[in-house]
């Protein structure tokens, strides 16, 4: 049972979670950093992907060392697998 709990903790730690609430908000959990940020595009680095959020009037309203919240009129969210990622 402890092996299963350790595996679940490891998977939860490494995976990134993206929540999209209507077209108003995107939350990316388990992110590493913000690569680019403007009022039309925010690019976030996760363990395996570059996540691009496109829209109008985008603002970063909450940013911690593992999570980011972007608000505005969201039009597109895209993922691109980074080279060399697991």
Residue 12: what pLDDT? Answer: 52
Condensed to tens digits (0 to 9), the pLDDT of residues 1-22 reads: 556 555 545 555 578 999 999 9
In CATH terms, is domain 2-81 a member of 2.60.40.2000? Answer: yes
Q: Is the predicted pLDDT of residue 73 greater than 80, yes or no?
A: yes
Closest CA to 71 of 84, 61, 83, 82: 61
Give the percent of the chain with pLDDT over 70.
Answer: 83
Residues whose CB falls within 8 Å of the CB of residue 2, separated by 6 or more in sequence, listed in order: none
Reported pTM: 0.80
């Amino acid at each position: 049972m402890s092996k299963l709990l350790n595996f679940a903790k490891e998977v939860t730690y490494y995976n990134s979670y993206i929540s999209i609430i209507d077209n108003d908000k995107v939350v990316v959990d388990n992110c590493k950093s913000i690569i680019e940020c403007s009022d039309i595009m925010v690019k976030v680095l996760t363990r395996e992907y570059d996540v691009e959020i496109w829209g109008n009037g985008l603002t970063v309203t909450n940013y911690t060392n593992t999570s980011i919240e972007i608000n505005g009129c969201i039009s597109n969210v895209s993922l691109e697998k980074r080279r060399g990622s697991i």
